[in-house]
A and B are shown apart, each in its own frame.
Chain A
Amino acid sequence: MIRSVMVMNTQGKPRLAKFYDFQPVERQQELIRSVFGALSSRAENASNFIEADLIFGPGTRLVYKHYATLYFVLIFDSSENELAMLDLIQVFVETLDKCFKNVCELDIFYNYSKMHTILDEIIFGGQVLETSSTEVIKAVEEISKLETASNAITLVSKSVSSWRSR
């Protein structure tokens, strides 16, 4: 099972953090900090795997990938395969790239809720749900279409109702 997904920049600022087991806010910060501590001490050409026993408890492992100014981190237990998880990060990033056309750090924190929507289409309750970025994008677009539609409705109804109440 996947325990957590984190996206943080190279200064250790979290850009997205999702924990599939509930963690209190302070603990979340602590985890983010210790993950960043582990990441920042890694050499450039080292492997993408870290044993995370100390951070997340025995048997947990961490896979990360470094893109430009961002670290993408997955933390998971022994039931997952490291290389597959590394690939999952790839899927996530590919999807973001397709969604935002050349994704960069700005896109990620300006589109905070969209990031969550995308992630929820890939990982569901700690299990891998979908690994095809085209499928993910299809689902996300469907949601946004509906949302814009309903948005428009509320906008109209709002203005109408406010106009009426006048």
Chain B
Amino acid sequence: MGSQGGFGQSKEFLDLVKSIGEARSKAEEDRIVLNEIEALKRRISEPDVPKRKMKEFIIRLVYIEMLGHDASFGYIHAVKMTHDDNLVLKRTGYLAVTLFLNEDHDLIILIVNTIQKDLKSDNYLVVCAALNAVCKLINEETIPAVLPRVVELLGHSKEAVRKKAIMALHRFYQKSASSVQHLVSNFRKKLCDNDPGVMGATLCPLCDLITIDVNSYKDLVISFVSILKQVAEHRLPRSYDHHQMPAPFIQIRLLKILALLGSGDKQASENMYTVVGDIFRKCDSSSNIGNAVLYECICCVSSVYPNPKLLESAADVVARFLKSDSHNLKYMGIDALGRLIKTSPEIAEQHQLAVIDCLEDPDDTLKRKTFELLYKMTKSSNVEVIVDRMIDYMISINDNHYKTEIASRCVELAEQFAPSNHWFIQTMNKVFEHAGDLVNIKVAHNLMRLIAEGFGEDDDNADSHLRSSAVESYLWIIGEPKLPAVFLQVICWVLGEYGTEDGKFSASYITGKLCDVAEAYSNDETVKAYAITALMKIYAFEIAARRKVDMLPECQSLIEELLASHSTDLQQRAYELQAIIGLDAQAVEIIMPSDASCEDIEIDKNLSFLSGYVQQALEKGARPYIPEIEHSGMAAISNFRTQELQESSLQGLRFEAYELPKPTVSSRIPAVSPASSTELVPVPELSYPRNTQKVASLPSISRSDPSELRLQLDGVQRKWGRPSYSSSETSTSSSVPDKTVNGVTKLVDAAGAINTRTHYTSYDSRKGQVEISPEKQKLAASLFGGSSKTERQTSATGHKAGKVGSHVAEKPQVSKGVDRSATEKIVAQPQPDLLDLGEPTVSSGAPSYDPFKQLEGLLDSSQVTPSVNHNEAGSDKAPDILGLHSETAGSGSGSGADASLSSGLSNLTIKNAHEGTITSYSTQFSKGPNTKDALEKDALVRQMGVTPTHQNPNLFKDLLG
């Protein structure tokens, strides 16, 4: 047995280890360990355990904890052991505590004193043990306790101690840079230590420091270069050689530092060329560590100011790596190639075959690295091949994390380099089909927007061609089972918007498909909502085109089902559909103009179309509108409620900043307030929470409900917000004020707007020449060809059957300069229901505050970013009591009104807290109806003359005489 030199363990321990080693199952192992824990617990707390025995117990505890069991009952004994004077025991104690405790553990405070004492010990081994513990156990607060002594140790006579002291100081720096900031000069000083080991140790902290602040270390370039030169020339003592390489770890560190210092600095770089060139020449490429140094040289060369000679040597090394049989070297070669192509893209071409080999290698690590390389070298000439490859790989793997990553890369490349709309749509279809649930929802939005707007060319033909090819491909895909929800949403939207546009497919065919979707995914409300809105659009277009609408029976039954849906959203959409079908062509044409998803809506900010109505109301004696400033001034004084907040925020009429349809709500005010809320605005909200509100305020209750409901839907928000691209989905059946374009997509803000990047799809016809030609070379040609100078063979047949797209070859040598930036549009979110209110007559006699519409408006408004409008943010968030203060504070920008608003909010918070509704939103949601019930009850009880509440003491007086 190999136990010698004081590391021996007792037979007991060996038996334990052995029995665990022989355990057949995890359960058996656990049983053994639990027994052991029991035994240890008992024995460790016995009085007068001999120290040697105790040491063994501690080791057993460490062992147990490594196996995943809790050994915390013994921590204190390990701590005690560090106090021992005996070196063995002390070391064991330190070992145990460094493994057991984290730096913030309560027991650390018991150790700090010992560490301080040990750092001063004469025995350097004790000092080393203490330094080791320092690295692991000292946190920001305790650093000052040991820092002075550690700094003193930088001058210790033993180089081992100096080395460890530097590393401990480095550790302090990592943990809390500020507490050792004044000491960083020590690292510079120690660079000149006469022990090469100590010098090597200082390179680690210096590397960190240089990463943060390159410029203050430029003066060291010469020193680093000369150190590297000496090391490379074997000037260090023999003992620093490692596999015949002179101090390779020091060389690696130095090369890393030089790469940092020389990056983008021609002058500094010039100092380095000679020494790096020397290393390239001298380095032994047969050993592992030699290759590590070579790899580091390549990194350095690719990072510093480019030098043709060095790049050449680097390329040679890369070639050697890639040709090697070792997978490790291939991996490093691919990685190095990825670095080099940044400065000299032509290098990749020489290695095309090797790269393709790596791509087909069974080793997953290597494959992924290669995909990373391909991603880096994608350009418009090879995007099709690369993305096709990526998608194939994406389909073949199960690892969701990596699948997501590769899917988003595909999307990114496709968006950036897509050679044609058709290809783009096909690619996106594939990505969605196979990783739809993993990609960001924004990707779907971008796709919809792209289909709606086209690629930005002014060529309408191309756009409509794009759309019809999208529709066609979707109709084909839609039958596939189990499509991801995101993809279905895109499909539904596109079919609704453009399904019947080119006349290829009949409305009944498309509606049939949409009904199938709604039925097949009946538990996904969002998909259903998309489907029903698409149906609505198709019927609306049919009506507008004055064709007879024959509703399919399954569609009829779907609508009926949704009319009774539990989801108010679906219900609303179904009602809207029903209403639209009943309208005549002219009205429908105005409500749902075809292909208007990209039109701008002009908003009449003065709401001049309402002035007649307002005038009328005023004449009837309604109270005039109170401007925001006065209003919120008042509000600050009184304790006010959610509802009032809403009102006051609405009065802001800040249309410009809204991304989303909040304007809807605000336009409502003039309509509402004259009618019912004359006395509502100032005070009554106050009493609302106490259920003593007059019945007159009920409408307002129903209004505030939606805002509370909104919070419950937090997770759903995005889905609801989606109509940003197609507000037609939320369009309602009501009439149209001024210039309403219902069913219109507006790009709200430039930021969210489509990719504004300029997009040049230039088809470089010059493709790599193929000489040795198996399939692989064709692939290589399509991958790397773009950069080659020779004319590429344009045989379309050569590409890997179907898989590797032959598009490249087929492409005419057109250079299509597509400038997308021109198409950037500034868009406002149309809020259909906002517009409804303009003409109350059409809304079929419903009260102008239809809760559903308001609900919808509120939900949509939830997308408005808080920073856009703090008032609104406040009102939206009012029920979110916990987050309230911080959020309003964050978004409020300091106007007096805002301040008073948030103070109002905090009052509200407190109130709500009193009511005990702090945490449960659902309670709040049900409050509306409850209030109503309570009010009714209250009224009834009063009528009967008995109100047993202390709120009405007078009643009791009456009763009791």
Residue positions of A touching B, CB distance < 8 A: 1, 13-14, 16-18, 20, 22, 24-26, 28-29, 43, 45-51, 53-54, 79, 81-84, 86-87, 90-91, 99-101, 103, 106-107, 109-114, 116-117, 120, 124-132, 134-135, 139, 141-148, 150-151, 153-155, 158
What is the chain A residue whose CB lies nearest that of B331?
A: A47
Q: A101-B2, A124-B132 are in contact. Are A146 and B328 (CB under 8 A)?
A: no
Contact B1 A106 (CB under 8 A): yes
**What's the minimum C-beta distance from B259 to chain A, rounded to whole angstroms?**
12
Contact A125 B135 (CB under 8 A): yes
**Interface flags, B300-340, vs A, CB<8A=1, else 0:** 00000000000000000000000000111011100000000
| Docked complex: B321-370 residues within 8 A CB-CB of A | 326-328, 330-332, 362-366, 368
Complex CA gap A131/B2 in Å reads 23
In the A-B complex, the 10 residue pairs with the closest CB atoms:
A144-B5, A83-B292, A125-B135, A22-B102, A47-B327, A46-B363, A147-B6, A29-B68, A114-B7, A100-B2
Complex CA gap A110/B16 in Å reads 10
**What's the minimum C-beta distance from A92 to chain B, rounded to whole angstroms?**
13
- Tell me if B379 is interfacial: C-beta within 8 Å of chain A: no
Partner of B239, one of A28, A134, A145: A134
Complex CA gap A124/B198 in Å reads 13
**Interface flags, B44-77, vs A, CB<8A=1, else 0:** 0000001110000001001101111110000000
**What's the minimum C-beta distance from B905 to chain A, rounded to whole angstroms?**
38
Contact B3 A110 (CB under 8 A): yes
Complex CA gap A101/B292 in Å reads 28
Specify which chain A residues have a CB less than 8 angstroms from the CB of B51 in the assembled complex: 154, 158
- Tell me if B240 is interfacial: C-beta within 8 Å of chain A: yes
Complex CA gap A27/B501 in Å reads 57
Complex CA gap A12/B4 in Å reads 27
Q: How many inter-chain residue pairs (CB < 8 Å) link A and B? A: 191
Contact B87 A150 (CB under 8 A): yes
Residue positions of B touching A, CB distance < 8 A: 1-7, 9, 14, 17, 21, 50-52, 59, 62-63, 65-70, 86-88, 91-92, 95, 99, 101-103, 123, 125, 132, 135-136, 160, 163-164, 167-168, 170-171, 174, 197, 201, 204, 207, 239-243, 248-249, 252, 256, 288-289, 291-292, 295-296, 326-328, 330-332, 362-366, 368, 399, 401
Contact B2 A110 (CB under 8 A): yes
**What's the minimum C-beta distance from A63 to chain B, rounded to whole angstroms?**
9
What is the chain B residue whose CB lies nearest that of A86?
A: B288
**What's the minimum C-beta distance from B1 to chain A, rounded to whole angstroms?**
6
Specify which chain B residues have a CB less than 8 angstroms from the CB of A50 in the assembled complex: 365
**What's the minimum C-beta distance from A81 to chain B, rounded to whole angstroms?**
5
10 A-B contacts (beta carbon < 8 Å): A25-B70, A54-B399, A81-B252, A81-B292, A83-B288, A106-B1, A111-B2, A114-B3, A124-B163, A143-B91
Specify which chain B residues have a CB less than 8 angstroms from the CB of A29 in the assembled complex: 68
Contact B201 A129 (CB under 8 A): yes
**What's the minimum C-beta distance from B510 to chain A, rounded to whole angstroms?**
43
Specify which chain B residues have a CB less than 8 angstroms from the CB of A22 in the assembled complex: 101-103, 136
Complex CA gap A46/B1 in Å reads 34
Contact B204 A127 (CB under 8 A): yes
Specify which chain B residues have a CB less than 8 angstroms from the CB of A117 in the assembled complex: 7, 91, 95
Specify which chain A residues have a CB less than 8 angstroms from the CB of B328 in the assembled complex: 47-49, 82-83, 86
What is the chain B residue whose CB lies nearest that of A30?
A: B68
Specify which chain A residues have a CB less than 8 angstroms from the CB of B4 in the assembled complex: 144
Complex CA gap A1/B241 in Å reads 22
Chain A, interface SS category: helix
Complex CA gap A147/B207 in Å reads 37
Complex CA gap A146/B88 in Å reads 8
Contact B68 A25 (CB under 8 A): yes
Complex CA gap A23/B756 in Å reads 45
Complex CA gap A116/B7 in Å reads 11
Contact B365 A51 (CB under 8 A): yes
Contact A125 B292 (CB under 8 A): no
Partner of A51, one of B69, B207, B249, B368: B368
Complex CA gap A83/B204 in Å reads 18
**What's the minimum C-beta distance from B135 to chain A, rounded to whole angstroms?**
4
Partner of B296, one of A81, A87, A128: A81
Contact A154 B86 (CB under 8 A): yes
What is the chain A residue whose CB lies nearest that of B299?
A: A81
Specify which chain A residues have a CB less than 8 angstroms from the CB of B296 in the assembled complex: 81
Specify which chain B residues have a CB less than 8 angstroms from the CB of A135 in the assembled complex: 239
Partner of A45, one of B125, B201, B327: B327
Complex CA gap A3/B875 in Å reads 47
**What's the minimum C-beta distance from A40 to chain B, rounded to whole angstroms?**
13
Contact A46 B327 (CB under 8 A): yes
Contact B249 A47 (CB under 8 A): no
**What's the minimum C-beta distance from B260 to chain A, rounded to whole angstroms?**
11
Complex CA gap A16/B65 in Å reads 11
Contact A110 B88 (CB under 8 A): no
Q: A83-B295, A124-B135, A125-B136 are in contact. Are A28 and B59 (CB under 8 A)?
A: no
Specify which chain B residues have a CB less than 8 angstroms from the CB of A14 in the assembled complex: 66-67
Complex CA gap A116/B241 in Å reads 24
Complex CA gap A109/B288 in Å reads 29
**What's the minimum C-beta distance from B726 to chain A, rounded to whole angstroms?**
36
Complex CA gap A57/B673 in Å reads 56
Specify which chain B residues have a CB less than 8 angstroms from the CB of A151 in the assembled complex: 6, 52, 86, 88
Specify which chain B residues have a CB less than 8 angstroms from the CB of A54 in the assembled complex: 399, 401
What is the chain B residue whose CB lies nearest that of A158?
A: B50
Contact A113 B7 (CB under 8 A): yes
Complex CA gap A125/B5 in Å reads 25
What is the chain A residue whose CB lies nearest that of B69?
A: A25
Specify which chain B residues have a CB less than 8 angstroms from the CB of A130 in the assembled complex: 197
Q: A43-B362, A131-B242 are in contact. Are A111 and B7 (CB under 8 A)?
A: yes
**What's the minimum C-beta distance from B59 to chain A, rounded to whole angstroms?**
6
Partner of B289, one of A87, A110, A142, A144: A87
Complex CA gap A53/B21 in Å reads 31
Contact B6 A83 (CB under 8 A): no
Partner of B88, one of A107, A125, A128, A150: A150
Partner of A144, one of B6, B59, B197, B331: B6
Contact B3 A111 (CB under 8 A): yes
Partner of B167, one of A84, A110, A125: A125
Complex CA gap A135/B242 in Å reads 11
Contact B14 A110 (CB under 8 A): yes
Specify which chain A residues have a CB less than 8 angstroms from the CB of B59 in the assembled complex: 112-113
Contact A129 B2 (CB under 8 A): no
Partner of B365, one of A18, A46, A144, A145: A46
Specify which chain A residues have a CB less than 8 angstroms from the CB of B86 in the assembled complex: 150-151, 153-154
Specify which chain B residues have a CB less than 8 angstroms from the CB of A20 in the assembled complex: 136
**What's the minimum C-beta distance from B393 to chain A, rounded to whole angstroms?**
15
**What's the minimum C-beta distance from A103 to chain B, rounded to whole angstroms?**
8
Give the interface centre of A91, A101, A127 by most chain B CB atoms within 10 Å.
A127
Q: A17-B66, A113-B95 are in contact. Are A124 and B17 (CB under 8 A)?
A: no
**What's the minimum C-beta distance from B94 to chain A, rounded to whole angstroms?**
10
Give the interface centre of B87, B101, B401 by most chain A CB atoms within 10 Å.
B87
**Extra 14 A-B pairs, beta carbons < 8 Å, given A46-B363, A125-B168, A151-B86:** A1-B174, A20-B136, A25-B65, A45-B327, A82-B328, A87-B242, A91-B242, A107-B1, A129-B201, A132-B242, A146-B125, A147-B87, A148-B6, A154-B86
**What's the minimum C-beta distance from A25 to chain B, rounded to whole angstroms?**
6
**What's the minimum C-beta distance from A27 to chain B, rounded to whole angstroms?**
10
Contact B68 A26 (CB under 8 A): yes
Complex CA gap A166/B343 in Å reads 83
Q: A51-B365, A86-B288, A131-B249 are in contact. Are A81 and B5 (CB under 8 A)?
A: no
**What's the minimum C-beta distance from B227 to chain A, rounded to whole angstroms?**
17
Give the interface centre of A17, A20, A84 by most chain B CB atoms within 10 Å.
A84
**What's the minimum C-beta distance from B132 to chain A, rounded to whole angstroms?**
6
Give the interface centre of A110, A130, A153 by most chain B CB atoms within 10 Å.
A110
Complex CA gap A51/B372 in Å reads 12
Complex CA gap A128/B201 in Å reads 8
Q: A47-B330, A83-B289, A84-B292 are in contact. Are A18 and B99 (CB under 8 A)?
A: yes
